[in-house]
């Protein structure tokens, strides 16, 4: 057995060599971004993108990458039509935060990914979006070091927002308005917006909508939208109450 003193120069050199080797090995490991489809039976990995593949897909002088092509056209190409059509929520997971973006923002090209060839990182950049066309504050969605992208039906993440009875067209319209425009900012604690339960929407609250959202003048509610949100809130509150009563009776 070879005995090496703890304070020997050889031991220090050996430790230093091991640390360097470990660091180089870690750096040599290719970074990947997993695109996952969330289902009731568990997550299904659609594609694991290596940075080399993303480099090849990057187009344009600034390295802009079409979000539609990355997330839908390529990653979800193997999904059945019904599953593909059910996707209306995109969850982007980075090293430091989770960002949820309604699918329609990505599908219409409002949300783009940018590849930085210097850092080999994929990030989002919404600062050049045409003013007035986007319904949610763009700066909320700036993200870097993307590691995972989850595709799902919004009801998978927010089942409490679903109306079971759809006999009221205005309520159904309000549900769609809430899930496509409000959930993006009012459902994640890392944003500065307060968590908003749809059953807490009231007429008085909607009256102060413009004042609360004055930083974003493009966010506006017309009378039809207000009525839809109120009808949705009341219908959902009633369904929740009936459900709770049924559970109490069963107990």
pLDDT digits over 85-112, tens only? 889 888 889 888 888 887 877 776 667 7
Max mean pLDDT range (28-32, 42-46, 202-206, 212-216): 42-46
Burial class (CB in 10 A: 0-12, 13-18, 19+), 115: buried
In this prediction, residue 232 has a pLDDT band, given cuts at 50, 70 and 90, of very high
Q: Hey, where are the domains in the chain?
A: 31-157, 158-251
Tell me if 124 sits within 8 A of 11, measured CB to CB: no
Q: From CA 51, how far away is CA 54, in angstroms rounded?
A: 5
- Cα angle, residue 91 at apex, residues 108 and 52 outer, rounded to 5°: 80
Burial class (CB in 10 A: 0-12, 13-18, 19+), 100: buried
Tens digit of each residue's pLDDT (9 = 90 or more) over 109-160? 667 777 877 777 888 765 555 444 444 555 566 778 888 999 998 888 888 8
Across 129-143, 152-166, 182-196, 232-246, least confident range: 129-143
Tell me if 96 sits within 8 A of 154, measured CB to CB: no
Tens digit of each residue's pLDDT (9 = 90 or more) over 17-40? 555 445 544 444 458 899 999 998
Tell me if 163 sits within 8 A of 239, measured CB to CB: yes
Tell me if 76 sits within 8 A of 84, measured CB to CB: yes
Tens digit of each residue's pLDDT (9 = 90 or more) over 48-57? 998 888 888 7
Output the pLDDT for position 151. 94
SS3 121: strand
Q: Sheet containing 89-94: give its strands across.
A: 42-50, 32-39, 146-152, 89-94, 98-102
Average pLDDT over residues 161-172: 90
With a cut of 90, say whether residue 236 has pLDDT above it: yes
Output the pLDDT for position 1. 39
Output the pLDDT for position 192. 63
Max mean pLDDT range (17-21, 57-61, 231-235): 231-235
């Amino acid at each position: 057995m070879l005995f090496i003193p703890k304070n020997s120069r050889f031991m220090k050199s050996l430790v230093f060599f091991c640390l360097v080797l470990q660091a180089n090995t870690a750096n040599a490991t290719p970074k990947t971004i997993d695109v996952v489809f969330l289902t009731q039976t568990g997550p299904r990995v659609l594609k694991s993108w290596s940075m080399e593949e993303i480099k090849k897909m990057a187009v344009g002088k600034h390295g802009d990458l079409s979000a539609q092509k990355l997330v839908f056209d390529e990653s979800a190409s193997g999904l059945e039509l019904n599953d593909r059509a059910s996707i209306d929520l995109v969850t982007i997971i980075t090293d430091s935060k989770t960002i949820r973006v309604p699918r329609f923002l990505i599908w219409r090209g409002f949300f783009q990914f940018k590849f930085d060839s210097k850092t080999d990182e994929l990030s989002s950049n919404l600062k050049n979006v045409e003013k007035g066309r986007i319904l949610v504050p763009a700066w909320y969605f700036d993200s870097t070091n993307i590691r995972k992208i989850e595709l799902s039906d919004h009801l998978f993440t927010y089942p409490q927002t679903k109306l079971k009875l759809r006999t009221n067209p205005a309520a159904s319209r309000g549900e769609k308005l809430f899930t496509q425009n409000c959930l993006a900012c009012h459902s994640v604690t890392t944003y500065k917006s307060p968590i908003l339960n749809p059953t807490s929407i009231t007429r008085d609250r909607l009256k102060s909508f413009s004042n609360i959202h004055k930083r974003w003048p493009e966010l506006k509610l017309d009378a039809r939208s207000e009525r839809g949100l109120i009808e949705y809130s009341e219908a959902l509150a009633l369904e929740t109450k009936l459900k709770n009563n049924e559970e109490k009776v069963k107990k």
